[in-house]
Structure 1
């Protein structure tokens, strides 16, 4: 393997990637503060590695790591060790069949998601590949399944909940993709709102053909731009420029409604008469009934003063925020974003048309 292709994982790298990942999270993808803490723990623990997926043997098994649940849930209890345990549960099941996991891949970008996999890499010695199911955050497991069909049998594990209580769950499920994803979402809700997940082992050849590749450079560049900007206005302009997007509005959050149900955060944010709907991530952005952006376009909110990304779980009435929009074409997206059927649940969740905007050719 060519050492020149390997990335040195440092605390500074973690912070840049987590901040940029939070921007690409589009309101979701987990807590930025927890992501930085998680990534720095990985660096402190050992030597997590990041490698191009092209370096793997095509037959090596790539395992996706994720967190599943509602970011705003107040009763969730997931420790860093739970993310490692979820990986080990799947590794053990695969080992029983005479195979082994060769690498890890994060599910998406986000404040936490972008560095998810680093601790598991440091503990297990497995590399994290420079790829993701999507180079932005998305709400459902099937969207992060890199094109696996709903009736494909997959292996998934979920771990979370307060130890020594009825909410503690450690589960391995093997079922059709749609059923496995629903089961994991159900145990996330039962565990208090969140579980650490390892899922969908696939050959590296399949992952390379269907995942979003080389996702970390974009996250790092965005994070650096925000952290070196002189103020929030400059940061927002830089983010928009880097993503070939636009600064849509700067204003005050007039209202924010959120309901946590079914393992998701669902709600609406109004900024100076502009409406943003979200299902964990921002799904739509409209003004006076006119649709201005629709998932998987990136809709992201930044603190007006600092430029720091603000998630849907954190945004609050009275805050001054800047909304930045970027087209889906500026993002690295995996095969899970190609199926209009996977967008139908979004419409049901937010009560807005989505498929006709995301797939105008259909």
Structure 2
């Protein structure tokens, strides 16, 4: 089913996207700016994957970097330029644009590029939540022997000078170079990458994830407009997704280190039900209560302002802030192949010094 995009749908998409981002997926404020520009230029619909021929080529578009870099590091034309550069260098015939993930910014990936280049956006993100590694948004392409990745990367120096490059090589090599460029520049780059057939995306991506986010955001808005308190608003998300945990507490300690193009950090929360700990590597990775593991990436872990229920990415949380924490099992999410890869999940363990794989044996 085609998704009709208007101001109301945008509001729902941004809220639902931010929630499913799980602490990452970009700043909601940046998503609002990009969506507004797209609407002003007549962006009006998103196509379902099944409306395309399985052999049609889809191009993944994304922003790569650390959320703490802020939400004013790239201009809308930088995202557009990344797709233009890809088309110029690759000469590929692209039938649709897909987002690498879902998040407050990520859910509108491709919208601006679509209206200016005439390439439709397709509701088939590479992943139905946000994730830290570019390989996690590559839908398992890195497992295909001899697959050659093409990536167009556009960024800006801290002084605002435009930098662009086109990369060809293995997915691992190009992903690493892209992340290094983000770290060296302003902390964030716009990327267009990995042309792949629609049939492959159907089997390895997360078709329908944008529609799910819009439905979730619509529910969130309805509960808010009905005057429910924040706890009940966030609890409605659990009802929508099926199951999970929910608690409210005060942030006692917040630590963040920007390293190698990522945000790495730890949050300690004091609640009436006990002491909790969150770790994050851009997205929230683990949730524990006094050493007992409650949720583990790719489970959805998300934070909200306790007063307003506004979704908070990991970089937006502050000490002494009252927050609501939600977690939902991975089985309840639309996930791409990349976040189910045990080799990639194993990489998280070294970064956050916490076990990941043993909590997701069903994925192996």
TM-score normalised according to structure 1 size: 0.94
Counterpart contact for 2:123–2:211, Cα < 8 Å:
no
Deviation at 1:164, TM superposition (A): 7.0
The alignment status of 1:214 with 2:212, answered yes or no, reads no
CA 1:138–1:270: 2 relative to 1, 3 Å: same
Task: Choose from 168, 172, 178 the match for 2:166.
Answer: 172
Counterpart contact for 2:131–2:339, Cα < 8 Å:
no
* Mapping of residues 10-25 of structure 1, within 5 Å: 10-25=6-21
How far does the alpha carbon of each residue in 1:170-222 deviate from its partner, in whole angstroms, 9 at most, with x for none?
01101100000000001111111000111111111211221101112221122
CA 1:54–1:315: 2 relative to 1, 3 Å: same
In structure 2, distance between residues paired with 1:290 and 1:270: 14
Deviates more, 1:309-318 or 1:230-239: 230-239
* Mapping of residues 121-200 of structure 1, within 5 Å: 121-149=114-142, 152-162=147-157, 168-200=162-194
Secondary structure of the equivalent of 1:333? coil
How far does the alpha carbon of each residue in 1:231-278 deviate from its partner, in whole angstroms, 9 at most, with x for none?
211211101111123343101111110000100000011111200000
How far does the alpha carbon of each residue in 1:304-352 deviate from its partner, in whole angstroms, 9 at most, with x for none?
1221111101011111111111111111011112310011221111110
Counterpart contact for 1:48–1:118, Cα < 8 Å:
no
Deviates more, 1:283-292 or 1:240-249: 240-249
Deviation at 1:360, TM superposition (A): 5.5
Secondary structure of the equivalent of 1:257? strand
Counterpart contact for 1:49–1:121, Cα < 8 Å:
no
In structure 1, distance between residues paired with 2:334 and 2:33: 25
Where in structure 2 are there 5+ consecutive unaligned residues? none
- Map of 1:295 onto structure 2: 297
In structure 2, distance between residues paired with 1:356 and 1:285: 15
Task: Choose from 289, 303, 308 the match for 1:306.
Answer: 308
In structure 1, distance between residues paired with 2:212 and 2:155: 31
Task: Choose from 29, 33, 37 the match for 1:33.
Answer: 29
Deviation at 1:74, TM superposition (A): 4.9
In structure 2, distance between residues paired with 1:312 and 1:145: 23
Q: RMSD of the alignment, in Å?
A: 1.7
The alignment status of 1:81 with 2:77, answered yes or no, reads yes
CA 1:247–1:75: 2 relative to 1, 3 Å: closer
- Map of 2:251 onto structure 1: 253
Counterpart contact for 1:76–1:192, Cα < 8 Å:
no
The alignment status of 1:51 with 2:47, answered yes or no, reads yes
Where in structure 1 are there 5+ consecutive unaligned residues? none
Deviation at 1:149, TM superposition (A): 1.9
In structure 2, distance between residues paired with 1:93 and 1:323: 44
